[in-house]
Amino acid sequence: MAQVSESKASSVQASIITIGDELLIGQVVDTNSAWMATELNKAGIWLRRRVSIGDNKAEIISTLDEESKNASVILITGGLGPTADDITKPVLCEYFGGKLVIDEKALANVQSIFARLNRPMIERNFKQAEVPDVCTVIQNKRGTAPGMWFEKNGKIFISMPGVPHEMKGMMTDYVLPRLQTHFTLPFINHRTLLTAGIGESFIAEYIQDWETALPVHIKLAYLPNYGMVRLRITGQGVDQNILQADLNKQFAALKELVKQWMVVDEDITLQQAIGNMLSKTGKTLATAESCTGGYIAHLITAIAGSSAWYKGSIVSYGNEIKEKLLNVSGDTLAAVGAVSEATVQQMLTGALIQLNTDYAVATSGIMGPGGGTADKPVGTVWIAAGSRQQVFTEKFSFRYDRKRNIEMTANFALNMLLKVIRNEVNGEQYKKELS
Amino acid sequence: MAQVSESKASSVQASIITIGDELLIGQVVDTNSAWMATELNKAGIWLRRRVSIGDNKAEIISTLDEESKNASVILITGGLGPTADDITKPVLCEYFGGKLVIDEKALANVQSIFARLNRPMIERNFKQAEVPDVCTVIQNKRGTAPGMWFEKNGKIFISMPGVPHEMKGMMTDYVLPRLQTHFTLPFINHRTLLTAGIGESFIAEYIQDWETALPVHIKLAYLPNYGMVRLRITGQGVDQNILQADLNKQFAALKELVKQWMVVDEDITLQQAIGNMLSKTGKTLATAESCTGGYIAHLITAIAGSSAWYKGSIVSYGNEIKEKLLNVSGDTLAAVGAVSEATVQQMLTGALIQLNTDYAVATSGIMGPGGGTADKPVGTVWIAAGSRQQVFTEKFSFRYDRKRNIEMTANFALNMLLKVIRNEVNGEQYKKELS
């Protein structure tokens, strides 16, 4: 244990610095940092801190000084654009004592992009091909701004554009492989499972003895989201086989402990788990969405290859669409309203028939902020999930804002759907565990 | 100008510290910081830095020291949960020299939440009601963990839960109002417009003289996103009337300069602009989505009140759904395929008829990574937008990953739709400016 502990203490640590006034005025949500953190982690590099600062020279310099005190790798994104507010490149050039020179490969890249767009190049576009003469240039296959790799006092500084797909391309093609050869990195492995129907504090109580007994090189994280809790164990070690064996053993014990609440035992989304089941069995799926307004369809179709098992959705936002396209009875709508068990049952049947699939899921609810009544307050939702053989319905009461109510409904609908599919495929018992 | 500049230099600056290992392993995208930044900005507080750190005592303490050197307000989120990895509260208690005591109001709140959920309380739930005796307690109306307001050496430290809707509730109900009475804050105002069809560097070149001549209390930001560029001018001043007049004057000049590319002259989304036009004219909208897979419907239905003008979508992911529900001709599909001008035209007509609306938009394309051919590579997209009177179609070639191709398609579809609606409502000329 002591050995492992020491190995962890001496492991490579990284900091991320994101640069741009847009990060400080709230214009942009930083999705880059989470992606970079995931990739660093997989590579065996621990992310220590993330700092976001404005396009300000003094602030950039003091942050470079500060972060390089404790981290060996400093990843920098943003501020490489062609406009006057983008100052990262000249500041880095000065910081590392270089001068800006044209990089011929970067210039050819900028020229080819402008040729493809059929746009004339102006002076500030040529400047995109300038780089400090004290860095290794990281070519940008997806945009005009080159990346830069600097080394100083044994620390590595990597500057990349803030545009997500450009940054991701550079990380994957160049930065991560080079970091992996530069350092002798430990192995970091994760195992993740998803639970539903139990709160974070109750799980913690329930698995307390197991958690306390975990060896020091394995850590547990509780990751609650949308009314469910993901449990992730992370292990670090110098021998991949031993590490895998240790993790497998602990993960098996954890799975056994939480089996009554476990939904998925992989680090995949509910919709991916559904897709895997349908792909395996050759079955198909349709959705009929009122209150989720296409969000479930979007979550599903964001999966590459989903067209093999997902046929489509009828987003019946208006009641007349529920009647016309999903064959919901006008009498039902008049008698019990659109947010009712009978309506979602009929929506589901309508989707199965109209889109001719094996499974379907249907949602109807009041997402807010308006539309609530004493009988059916904002957050009231009915969900139906099923097949031609069986239909399950459940009522939920969410109490969040519109956005989160939609996300919660989608997540609970997918969870019901997954259970229904498993029910039929494995003969498992459908459990009404959510409330 | 000098006065304004001094006022800016002396204005209240804030730092955000987000705490949680989940932020450093990439499990969670930090959406809190962008929201907080926006709200602080509106209140006249400049956000200087954002720092994310793990659940680590030494790191929390050194970051509190560091951030309070330069900022007057330190906003802290996360690490207040009931599990062992959540250490923010005891660390803050020690940092400010207090001891943990039960807060009766917070306890009553925790008890009422557990009563509502019909769950028994265990010891770690009671601990949620403990607070340092050296803080002002911020009650949590949306969850169990109370917030904490500390003051030390003239600096304010505010600790809140990381759960977004809990944090937002505390900010809105308590933190922002109290900060506004605590400090004498300058006025900060923004004006934003959205352009399409011109790159960031070209706009910069085009408006260079105007930008250079901006007074020091007004700044311009370029915010490119999804192939469009948002321009935001931000002004700061001590007299709201003078500031408004200055901003109005500069914004009018900017609008005049970029009018040929301007899509929207407010800080609203394309779908919101569409909703505003439809609400005003009493017209209705439907969507027929293949490659966007419900994402356009989701963007629209995320707007509260959209049911007044949006009737729904047929997400026709399978070709048989295009035929059956949108009346796309099987001959057309056989002859030119689903990704074609003829298909999106027929999808649009099908949506107008089936969903009985005034306007519709239809998308069909290859989002990748699979499915591309030599004729129709990944990223090939056809969009149709129109009414019963006129239908416009355009072909696009995106070259990103699946997620971004979907987002780009949705954004360009909404832009086409907005132009079509304006075309009919205002008699404006539809311009094919995008490529």
DSSP B160-201: E-SSHHHHHHHIIIIIHHHHHHHS-PPEEEEEEEEEESS-HH
Q: In the structure, what pLDDT confidence band is assigned to residue A433 with cuts at 50, 70 and 90?
A: very low
ipTM field: 0.85
Q: In chain A, pLDDT over 70 holds for what percent of residues?
A: 96
Whether the pLDDT of residue A386 is over 80: the answer is yes
Terminal-residue alpha carbon distance, chain B? 42
Q: What is the mean pLDDT of residues B331-356?
A: 97
Residue length of chain B: 435
So what's the pLDDT on residue A428?
59
Is B222 in CB contact (< 8 Å) with chain A?
Answer: yes
- What whole-number distance in Å separates Cα of residue B366 and Cα of residue B152? 58
- CATH code, A10-182: 3.40.980.10
Which two three-digit tokens encode residue B216? 């020091």
**DSSP secondary structure of B26-72:** TSS---HHHHHHHHHHHTT-EEEEEEEE-S-HHHHHHHHHHHHHH-S
Say whether pLDDT at A297 is over 90.
yes
Helix (H, G, I), strand (E, B) or coil at A412: helix
- Of 3.30.70.2860, 3.90.870.10, 3.40.50.970, 3.30.450.20, the CATH number of B187-264 is 3.30.70.2860
The architecture that CATH gives domain A188-264 is 2-Layer Sandwich (3.30)
Cβ-nearest to B315 among A22, A81, A294: A294
First to last CA, chain A: 42
What global pTM score does this model have?
A: 0.85
Using the Cβ of B54 and the Cβ atoms of chain A, whether some distance falls under 8 Å is answered with: yes
- Determine contact: A26 vs chain B, CB below 8 A: yes
Q: By percentage, how much of chain B surpasses pLDDT 70? A: 96
Residue A416 C-alpha from the chain's centroid: 21
Q: What is the pLDDT of residue A299?
A: 97
Residue B232 tokens, joined: 């935001």
Q: How far apart are CA B236 and CA B4, in angstroms?
A: 8
CA distance B363 to B347: 8
Q: What tokens does B279 get?
A: 């609400």
Helix (H) or strand (E) holding A399: none
> Helices B57-70 and B88-95: crossing angle, nearest 10°?
60
Q: A4 φ, ψ to 5°?
A: -60, -45
Do B201 and A302 lie within an 8 Å CB cutoff?
A: no
Mean pLDDT calculated for residue range A151-167 = 95
Of the pLDDT bands very low, low, confident and very high (cuts 50, 70, 90), residue B429 is: low
What's the average model confidence in pLDDT over B217-223?
Answer: 87
- Classified by CATH at the fold level, domain B13-182 comes out as Molybdenum Cofactor Biosythetic Enzyme; Chain A (3.40.980)
Chain B partners of A306 at a C-beta cutoff of 8 Å? 293, 317
Q: Give residue A102's identity as a one-letter amino acid code.
A: I
pLDDT cut 90: percent of chain B above it = 76
**Residues present in chain A in total:** 435
Q: Residue B56 corresponds to which amino acid? A: N
**Strand, helix or coil at B390?**
coil
> At residue B338, does pLDDT exceed 60?
yes
| Structure confidence at residue A435 as a pLDDT band (50, 70, 90) | very low
Contact A160, A172 (CB under 8 A): no
Q: Hey, do B187-264 and B270-426 end up sharing a CATH topology, with the first three levels equal?
A: no
Q: Find out whether A169 and A146 touch, Cβ atoms under 8 Å.
A: no
Give yes or no for a contact between A161 and A82, defined as CB atoms under 8 angstroms apart. no
Residue in the structure block whose two tokens are 């959406």: B31
Interface of A with B in 92-111 (CB under 8 A): none
Query: So where are chain A's domains?
Result: 10-182, 188-264, 270-426
Minimum Cα–Cα distance from B287: chain A residue: A315
Lowest average pLDDT, out of A32-41, A81-90, A300-309, B327-336, goes to A81-90
Is A129 exposed, middle or buried, given 0-12, 13-18 or 19+ CB atoms closer than 10 A? buried
Choose the mutation target among B301, B320, B353, B404 for the interface with A, i.e. most A CBs under 10 Å.
B301
Helical residues (DSSP H) of A305-340, grouped into ranges: 319-326, 330-336
- Contacts of residue B36 in chain A, CB cutoff 8 Å? 26
Question: Which CATH number is associated with domain B270-426?
Answer: 3.90.950.20
